[in-house]
Copies of this chain bind each other. A is one copy, B any other.
């Protein structure tokens, strides 16, 4: 892994200092990050409901897609700018920083006006122009692993952002594409542990896109905590069955609330395990 001077840790055993990124009231890399919210912002009411619910359950960041990359041009493409405003307002009212995906270099500045964190999606992990542009903006970036990207390529893409002078990169494992079809993708938790030994960057896990199945989000979230991740990104929708995208994998607020209780306990347990050996 040549040429990864910015993202790689000098010493595999003692990776110091870890990257810490201050966003609103939380410090990613120190505090456990829980990003939650719907796949897409669908209306002012829907995102407000979602924001209130995920905040109440303990999430500390709000997600919501506004410019959606969809396989077919005839699928719902997101609300765009008005969606950004709804998301931003929902974040302000609940006190949650917001994250949304950017897919076009020309939108980086605009989205940066509304969002606290810019998300680079799996399909754009090697869209180098976009990486350079979010690098220049210097706002925090969540960089999803390409569904076909090796760990080395993923870290190389982070290097693109950091090389523009933006050290605020959060990595996100979201499943890789394999031959298995019973899950949407294959969640690669060993990649999380491997990256924690290679890089000082925080790593978040997205079990929603990795599995594509609401019933697998709880076990995979708790597994991810034990694998050493620094946060989770979970899709939550006020009424998943009415969602305009990703119906099968979004949790209800109630399911998310129960999940959060388990995640919090697991984090405490993990901390104790580390201290007492």
> Which A residues form the contact surface with B (CB < 8 A)?
2-4, 69-75, 103-107, 123-124, 126-130, 146-148, 150-153, 156, 159-160, 163, 176-183, 186-194, 197, 210-211, 213, 215-216, 219-220, 222-228, 258, 261-262, 265-266, 269, 273, 277
Residues of the B chain whose Cβ atoms lie less than 8 Å from the Cβ of A105: 104-106
Chain B residue with minimal CB distance to A195? B182
Tell me the bound Cα distance from A73 to B164 in angstroms.
Answer: 10
Determine the residue in chain B with the shortest Cβ distance to A13.
Answer: B215
Measured CB to CB, the nearest residue on chain B to A148 is: B148
Chain B nearest CB from A75 CB (Å) reads 8
**A179/B194 contact (C-beta < 8 A), A123-B127, A128-B69 known:** no
Q: With the chains together, A160 CA to B261 CA distance in Å?
A: 41
Q: Are A273 and B277 in contact (CB under 8 A)?
A: no
**Could you say how many copies of this chain the assembly holds?**
4
Contact of A156 among B71, B176, B211, B215 (CB under 8 A): B71
Chain B residues with CB under 8 A of A273:
262, 265-266
Task: Give the nearest-CB partner of A269 in chain B.
Answer: B269
Cβ A186 vs Cβ B178 within 8 A: yes
Query: From residue A136, how far is it (CB to closest CB) to chain B in Å?
Result: 13
Q: Which of A151, A160, A180, A265 has the most chain B CB within a 10 Å cutoff? A: A180
Taking A150-B179, A190-B219 as known contacts, 20 extra A-B pairs with beta carbons closer than 8 A to each other, sorted by chain A number, are A2-B72, A103-B128, A104-B105, A104-B130, A106-B129, A150-B180, A176-B178, A176-B179, A176-B180, A177-B179, A178-B186, A180-B188, A186-B188, A187-B188, A187-B189, A187-B190, A193-B219, A219-B228, A220-B227, A223-B226
* A139 CB to nearest chain B CB (Å): 19
The CA of A183 and the CA of B189, in the complex, are separated in Å by 11
Contact B176 A186 (CB under 8 A): yes
Contacting A194 at CB < 8 Å: which of B74, B152, B182? B182
The 8 closest A-B pairs by CB, nearest first: A148-B148, A104-B129, A123-B126, A222-B226, A223-B223, A193-B219, A223-B227, A223-B226
